Amino acid sequence: MVGSSRIGNIFLSPDSTLSNRTLRFLFFPFLLIYSIQTPLGAEQIFASDQGTWIHRAIRFWSFEDPSMQVILIGVLLIGINCGLMGGYVVTRRLSMFGDTLSHAVLPGIAIGYSLSRSGKEWGLMIGATISGFLGVAIISLLKKYTKMKVDSAMGLVLSAFYALGICLLTHLQQSTGGGQVNLENYLFGSLVGLSESDLPPIITCLCLVSVGFILLHKEILVSGFDPSFARSIGLPVDFIQLLIWGLLAFCIVSSLQIVGVVLVSALLIIPAATSWLLTYRMNHLLILSAFLGGLSGLLGCFFSFLTNHLPAGPTIVLCSTILFLIMLLFSPTKGMVPSWLRSRKRGNKIRIENTLKACYQVLEEFDFKKQCFPQSLLSRRRRKSDGEIEQEIDNLIRHGYATRIKSSSKKFGENISDTMISLTPSGWEVACRMIRNHRLWELYLTKKASYAPDHVHDDAEKIEHVLGEQAVRHLERILSNPRLDPHGKLIPSQDDIERGWTTGPSAAN
């Protein structure tokens, strides 16, 4: 029920800034398009070998070649487009479905091509969308009416539609003399084929996707994350689902030219998966993945331009993979390096607390008569070598929890060269708090959870480091401010901790 309440929240209070921000972000590129003059041949720009790589880089980022502008805008828009759709695909766990869809549009492209010779782009779009729909429909029919599992149904539709597409495209290529249909463009994609006439479908698609996502934001979220709730509040879930499949097919078709059949799903999945590592909120995820999609498009285009012969589609994919790897390592919330650092810090804290606890227990052996104690007693209690204890004490001193006192007294009848250790007030406070947590928890387990007294230590050993102040107060209240733990030892109270460490906890109460 947690999930549904969260979604209900989203539903009731939609992020109103989202639409503004997204609008501004999405429509910026459209303004650029109107400033384009007639393009040069894009092949010439990509194939030209002039200048060092620095010159080429400067030329790329100055955006001065008109046909370069077309390509860049196309790549940017496609990246944003796929990023947006991908956010939905990845959160709904439909990634492999997206892959299947991208293969299933191939026959539609061939048929669209052969039907409409003049306005070729639109024919392609419509044919491909229909054929994508057909693929999805066949998968769900196979799943529903036969004993086939969804994975083999998907694999079957994917490869069958793909084979049909290859056959039809080859047939078309041979019957038209090969010049018009470039099969390889649709399989691997190419940037140089991108001309101004390819932009309108891409722009339309982006408009549709972004308008759809902004207008139907709540509906899409609810019907995606909790279909039964959406049905119960009267949303047309199936219609929305269908709409999204349509948008997805449209989006895939418009990106085929640049990245090709196999790698379209990469453009869908990778930016969204990357932003999945960065945020927990759907709005932020969509914006981030649109941004990352556009960025990886630009970067891939740049490297492809820089090296002169790398194919653009795979380079774009590799760029977004590298972005993913960077985020996997360094994302502040879920990245591996930050979480490794956090766990190291936590481990250090636990080590310090354990040492302080042992110090307390050593002091307890002397009934808190002494203010300092020899290091060897600590190492005996911790069951560790002198060297290790030395390090632990160093660690305590670094954090200001203890001090070393050089002393040659023989009072304890121990080794003369033994270093004497004394806790500082802050060290004493942490030690008391740990002991208190530990013993309260032991008492709680024996009294309220009917554990045997000799079974409670290991549990308490773990929980003592995570019990908060409030939980401890609560425990004390439940146990009515106890003084003794199950093993007959004193539990230091809040008063003892505040009073300081001069005499140890007072038994009188």
- Cβ-based nearer residue to other proteins, 48 or 175: 175
The nearest distance, CB 263 to other proteins, in angstroms, is 6
- Say how far apart CA 276 and CA 323 lie, in whole Å: 13
Q: What are 405's strand-pairing partners?
A: 420
**From residue 49, how far is each of 16, 70, 309, 340 by CA, in Å?**
49, 20, 11, 46
The nearest distance, CB 133 to other proteins, in angstroms, is 18
- Cβ-based nearer residue to other proteins, 46 or 276: 276
The nearest distance, CB 49 to other proteins, in angstroms, is 13
The nearest distance, CB 207 to other proteins, in angstroms, is 26
Positions touching other proteins (CB under 8 A) are 90, 93-99, 103, 142, 145-149, 151-152, 154-156, 158-160, 162-164, 166-167, 170-171, 174-175, 183-184, 187-188, 262-263, 265-266, 268-270, 272-273, 276-277, 309-311, 313-315, 317-318, 321, 324, 328, 334
- Cβ-based nearer residue to other proteins, 5 or 146: 146
The nearest distance, CB 274 to other proteins, in angstroms, is 9
Bridge-based pairing state of the strands 402-405 and 372-374: unpaired
- Say how far apart CA 178 and CA 170 lie, in whole Å: 9
Q: Is 250 exposed, middle or buried (0-12, 13-18, 19+ CB in 10 A)?
A: buried
- Cβ-based nearer residue to other proteins, 203 or 312: 312
- Cβ-based nearer residue to other proteins, 11 or 162: 162
The nearest distance, CB 158 to other proteins, in angstroms, is 7
Give residue 443's identity as a one-letter amino acid code: L
- Cβ-based nearer residue to other proteins, 137 or 478: 137
The nearest distance, CB 366 to other proteins, in angstroms, is 48
- Cβ-based nearer residue to other proteins, 171 or 345: 171
**From residue 343, how far is each of 143, 279, 329, 378, 393 by CA, in Å?**
44, 20, 15, 26, 21
- Say how far apart CA 38 and CA 25 lie, in whole Å: 26
For 461, residues 6+ apart whose C-beta sits below 8 A from its C-beta are 438
- Cβ-based nearer residue to other proteins, 143 or 351: 143
Two tokens at 420? 């004497």
For 217, residues 6+ apart whose C-beta sits below 8 A from its C-beta are 14, 18, 19, 283
- Cβ-based nearer residue to other proteins, 325 or 405: 325
Two tokens at 442? 């032991």
Instruction: Give the residue from 95, 72, 99 showing the smallest Cα distance to 202.
Output: 72
- Cβ-based nearer residue to other proteins, 154 or 235: 154
The nearest distance, CB 116 to other proteins, in angstroms, is 22
- Say how far apart CA 371 and CA 400 lie, in whole Å: 16
Q: What angle do CA 94, 99, 103 make, to 5 degrees?
A: 140
Residue 332 CA, distance from chain mean position: 10
- Say how far apart CA 258 and CA 43 lie, in whole Å: 14
Instruction: Give the residue from 124, 115, 221, 106 showing the smallest Cα distance to 167.
Output: 106
| Residue written as token pair 């809040």 | 494
- Say how far apart CA 429 and CA 318 lie, in whole Å: 53
- Cβ-based nearer residue to other proteins, 265 or 422: 265
The nearest distance, CB 298 to other proteins, in angstroms, is 17
Three-state SS for 218-253 is: HHHHHHHHCHHHHHHCCCCHHHHHHHHHHHHHHHHH
The nearest distance, CB 324 to other proteins, in angstroms, is 7
The nearest distance, CB 47 to other proteins, in angstroms, is 12
- Cβ-based nearer residue to other proteins, 111 or 263: 263
The nearest distance, CB 187 to other proteins, in angstroms, is 5
Q: Which helix (H) or strand (E) holds 373?
A: strand 372-374
- Say how far apart CA 319 and CA 77 lie, in whole Å: 16
Phi then psi dihedrals of residue 104, to 5 deg = -75, -15
The nearest distance, CB 25 to other proteins, in angstroms, is 24
Are residues 192 and 210 in contact, defined by beta-carbon separation less than 8 angstroms?
no
- Cβ-based nearer residue to other proteins, 309 or 406: 309
| Residue written as token pair 């429509």 | 27
